[in-house]
Amino acid sequence: NEDRFYVMDFIKNSENFYISSSEGFVRKIDPRAKKVVEEFALHDNKIFTVSVNQENPYELCTASLDRTMRLWDARKIGKGKPKPIHEMVHGLSVTGASYSPDGKYIVSCCNDHYLRVWNTAKLTAKSSDEDGPVPDSRVRHNNKTGRWLTKFRCYWDPKQQGAFTIGSMERPRCIEVFGVNEDASSTSLIMRLRDDNVASVQSINVPHPKLDVILSANSSGRGVMWTKA
């Protein structure tokens, strides 16, 4: 069929993983059995990303073209139209949302040019409005990648609590590192990384889990490894 896969996220202490799709489905895959174990219809439109809370692997976060980020308890998703634990309505399509490695934060990237951060410990008691739980902080960021570039999303650094990377539309071209303070009340730009050999937008920017290395890539498939000088 026309269903396309977008992002996958592995489940802690398991070989299984979740994968998001263009038709609004999230599927749980067992690679050993080479089959779909579970399939959930979680949005009416494209799901750009699915993220697993590695501290509580039954908790999922999805980001969609329908302008929402939703949090789910996989144990409670039944047949019919599932109901999320929380739904956060954004200004435009949400191109990425993910739990931090310790499960303490969630960051979203939206085409309305904001990055939003929630402290997950406050979610149950957090003040809400008609758009869902209010983010603890947000920061302006140019996310206008257009039609031909890979959409931006944030990538947490497992070595540094509260730090994440993201692509940038700034010139000269660069990748950016942001930091979230302890209670998520503030999110700010820490640094920009540039090099004369990097002249294109780096949409994908993944920190190494142990080394001081970031691997970035543009929409043409060219990769760059960033290390300390």
Which of 67-76, 121-130, 173-182 has the weakest average pLDDT? 121-130
| C-alpha to C-alpha distance for 134 and 128, rounded to whole angstroms | 6
Determine which helix (DSSP H) or strand (DSSP E) holds 216, and give its type and residue range: strand 213-217
Distances 205 to 11, 163, 215, 220 between C-alpha atoms, Å: 21, 13, 6, 14
Contact 63, 42 (CB under 8 A): no
Q: What is the pLDDT of residues 202-211, one digit of tens each?
A: 999 999 999 9
Distances 12 to 51, 54, 55, 58, 106 between C-alpha atoms, Å: 12, 6, 8, 10, 17
- Which residues are CB-contacts of 176 (< 8 A; sequence separation ≥ 6)? 141, 165, 166, 167, 168, 170, 189, 191, 192, 193
Structure tokens at 73: 């308890």
Q: What confidence tier does 16 reach under pLDDT thresholds 50, 70, 90?
A: very high
| C-alpha to C-alpha distance for 111 and 67, rounded to whole angstroms | 9
Residue whose C-alpha is closest to residue 65's, from 85, 83, 33, 90 = 90
Mean pLDDT of 168-174: 97
pLDDT at 1: 59
User: Where do we find the tokens 């895959």?
Assistant: 29
Q: What confidence tier does 145 reach under pLDDT thresholds 50, 70, 90?
A: very high
